[in-house]
Structure 1
Amino acid sequence: MLQYPTLKDRVFRSHKSIHLLAPTQVQRGTYKGWTDSQMEQALQAVVASGASIRRAALDYHVPKSSLGDRVSGQTVPGTKSGPPPYLNAMEEGELVQFLSRCASIGYGKSRKEVLSLVQSVMDSKKTVTNDWWEGFC
């Protein structure tokens, strides 16, 4: 059974207000808690202004290690992590329109048919998997 702390133990008093702290909860982080513009500003502060990586990371609320990777050239700014997408945004848009038109006339495509169609469009030797399907949906 989960024991909740007493109200007195859950109250945090700051000089401006009183905040109730939640009972012990697991707080999940996000994949990326910063924006690309924040990272770009921090990178400019380091490169152009000569600020330290640590100071720029604190000032612009970005991870120090990620900023350091961009300064050293290990990570190219503007790139996304993970493998490159099978289809670009324009091709995915065309696929959505095609599937919508097929469904509107009563000839919907199955998952297997869509995977086969995408596999035939791709010019690489990668196999289109159900993981791609889940991400596409």
Structure 2
Amino acid sequence: MFPELAQMPNIRQIRQRQGERKTRLGAPEAMAGAMEEVHAGRLTIRQAAAHGVPKSSLSDRISGRVASDCKQGQMPLLSTIDENALVEYCLYSASYGFPLTKPQVLAHALAIYNQRHREAPKVALGQTWWINFRERHHQRLTTRTPDIIDRGRAAHAKRGPIEEYFRLLQATIDEHGLREEPQQIYNCDETGFQLDSVRRKVIVPRGTKHAYRQAPGTRDHITVLACFNATGEDVPPFIIYKGGYPGGAYNREGIPNALYGKSQAGYIDGELFYKWFTTHFLLHATKERPLLLVMDGHQSH
């Protein structure tokens, strides 16, 4: 159906071709050795070329037409300065929650090339350049499938707000004598399940365990508000649908004692949170008092 895809080489084939090409060109050490033998008069150019280096390349270096330290092979698409700048931009974007995907990196590289070579024929970037780029910078860059993080959470995931949060949490626990009462400390948070989400791998700094990317927008989803205390006991979840309830007996064969709700956007709002807190959380939480409920700082809460 797509014959052009059948002809596209895979990673193994590309690396095999690169290995064969390097063998034909000869290693830099072999070229330097051959030049030394010719300059010393021990071998002719033809005799030295028989030891694994191209005769024309050796002849160009001996005659001075090409610098003796000139690298063999095709010139790179981008200069070292431009490619390092692209790497820095990849790192910068990842640090602010916008890691680049493979098509974005290819588009940036092509734009740089076109800017530097306005009169040159147009070129195309593909799998070969991508593999070589990753291998050249494997010590700094790697690929990960990103986890989605919203803009508000990205803004507060910094040292200052995090330290202030733990200071306030510790002070509150001590003030109410809850340090030895873990069953009275609860945490609730909502999570969304995307129904049509497709995520590409992105470029992140080498050594990154988790890649986060800010959500580009809303899609059809289901929101679940989960709540546990510090001993691991849970409050049955609050499941929120977007727009309206699905057809059928959606609440008869679900999680026991779960609470269901709906909102226009499919997220929790002030009215739904009040319903959950007064009719559900207080019903299923421990009867001991006081209770500490830890939640995120969303305005609706």
**Pair in the same fold by TM > 0.5:** yes
Deviation at 1:105, TM superposition (A): 1.3
1:69 matched to 2:65? The reply is no
Q: Deviations over 1:82-120 (max 9, x none)?
A: 3x2111222211111110110121111222222222222
- Cα distance change of structure 1 residues 70 and 111 upon mapping to structure 2, 3 Å threshold: closer
For residues 72 and 80 of structure 1, the distance between their equivalents in structure 2, rounded to whole angstroms, comes to 13
Of residues 126, 132, 137, the one that matches 1:130 is: 126
For residues 93 and 32 of structure 2, the distance between their equivalents in structure 1, rounded to whole angstroms, comes to 43
1:44 matched to 2:40? The reply is no
Higher Rg of the two aligned structures = 2
- Structure 1 counterpart of 2:60, one-letter code: G
Equivalent residue number for residue 112 of structure 1: 103
SS at match of 1:80: coil
Q: Say if 1:102 and 1:108, in contact at 8 Å, map to a contact too.
A: yes
TM-score, scaled relative to structure 1: 0.56
For residues 129 and 57 of structure 1, the distance between their equivalents in structure 2, rounded to whole angstroms, comes to 34
Deviation at 1:55, TM superposition (A): 5.8
For residues 87 and 100 of structure 1, the distance between their equivalents in structure 2, rounded to whole angstroms, comes to 18
- Structure 2 counterpart of 1:134, one-letter code: I
Q: Select the structure that is richer in strand.
A: 2
Equivalent residue number for residue 82 of structure 2: 91
- Structure 2 counterpart of 1:51, one-letter code: R
Long gaps (5+) in structure 1? 1-28
Q: How many residues are paired up?
A: 102
Where relative contact order (Cα < 8 A, 6+ residues apart) is larger, the structure is: 2
Q: Deviations over 1:10-52 (max 9, x none)?
A: xxxxxxxxxxxxxxxxxxx763396423422321221x32222
Runs of 4+ with >6 A deviation: none
- Cα distance change of structure 1 residues 92 and 71 upon mapping to structure 2, 3 Å threshold: closer
For residues 58 and 87 of structure 2, the distance between their equivalents in structure 1, rounded to whole angstroms, comes to 39
Deviation at 1:127, TM superposition (A): 2.5
- Structure 2 counterpart of 1:79, one-letter code: K
- Cα distance change of structure 1 residues 126 and 134 upon mapping to structure 2, 3 Å threshold: farther
Q: Percent identity?
A: 24
For residues 80 and 55 of structure 1, the distance between their equivalents in structure 2, rounded to whole angstroms, comes to 20
- Cα distance change of structure 1 residues 100 and 71 upon mapping to structure 2, 3 Å threshold: closer
For residues 88 and 69 of structure 1, the distance between their equivalents in structure 2, rounded to whole angstroms, comes to 26
Long gaps (5+) in structure 2? 1-18, 135-301
Q: Select the structure that is richer in helix.
A: 1
For residues 136 and 71 of structure 1, the distance between their equivalents in structure 2, rounded to whole angstroms, comes to 28
SS at match of 1:107: coil
For residues 35 and 112 of structure 1, the distance between their equivalents in structure 2, rounded to whole angstroms, comes to 33
- Structure 1 counterpart of 2:35, one-letter code: L
For residues 135 and 97 of structure 1, the distance between their equivalents in structure 2, rounded to whole angstroms, comes to 17
For residues 89 and 45 of structure 1, the distance between their equivalents in structure 2, rounded to whole angstroms, comes to 32
Of residues 94, 110, 114, the one that matches 1:103 is: 94
